[in-house]
Amino acid sequence: MKIALASDHAGFEYKEAIHEWLTAHGHAVKDFGTSNNASVDYPDFIRPAAEAVARGEYERGIVLGGSGNGEAIVANKVRGVRCGLCWSEESAHLNRQHNDANVLSLGQRMISRELALRIVEIWLTTPFEGGRHLGRIRKIEG
């Protein structure tokens, strides 16, 4: 799978671990930055990754920050992106199964590295069940 990956400084360490995990599991990854843990403005990195997913250049995106909230907000401002903030295995499963999310947001300060990697695995492997509500959501997206 082709995956866009981005973080701010507060999500940098997990981004690096996730990048390594994705590559080891055969995924093609484009890292949109940041490149270290020096303070940055997260929209500068999150928005380009979300836009690349919306354009269809990448099948999925993963964005990270301290809490993941701001990153989810920025990603969801991009038409065609359905980004969900996940904090547990169940939230990752439901994010894909019921919402067909194409971008995942994680908060490095909120969960352990091990849980973050497990969430990524679940999120990537859970299929969308389908549903009548998503058609209406996609009409809004345009």
C-alpha to C-alpha distance for 28 and 56, rounded to whole angstroms:
14
CATH architecture, domain 2-141: 3-Layer(aba) Sandwich (3.40)
Q: List per-residue pLDDT tens for the chain, 142 residues long.
A: 999 999 999 999 999 999 999 999 999 999 999 999 999 999 999 999 999 999 999 999 999 999 999 999 999 999 999 999 999 999 999 999 999 999 999 999 999 999 999 999 999 999 999 866 555 555 555 5
* Cα dihedral sign, 8-9-12-14: negative
40 contacts 9 by C-beta, under 8 angstroms: yes
Which pLDDT does position 141 carry in this prediction? Answer: 57
Query: Residue ranges per domain, the chain?
Result: 2-141
Which pLDDT does position 133 carry in this prediction? Answer: 59
Which pLDDT does position 62 carry in this prediction? Answer: 99
| DSSP assignments along 62-81, one per residue | EEEESSSHHHHHHHHTSTT-
Which residues does 82 contact at the CB level (< 8 Å), separation at least 6? 76, 99, 100, 101, 102, 103, 137
72, two tokens? 């989810």
Which pLDDT does position 135 carry in this prediction? Answer: 56
C-alpha to C-alpha distance for 100 and 111, rounded to whole angstroms:
23
List, by residue number, the catalytic residues.
71, 98
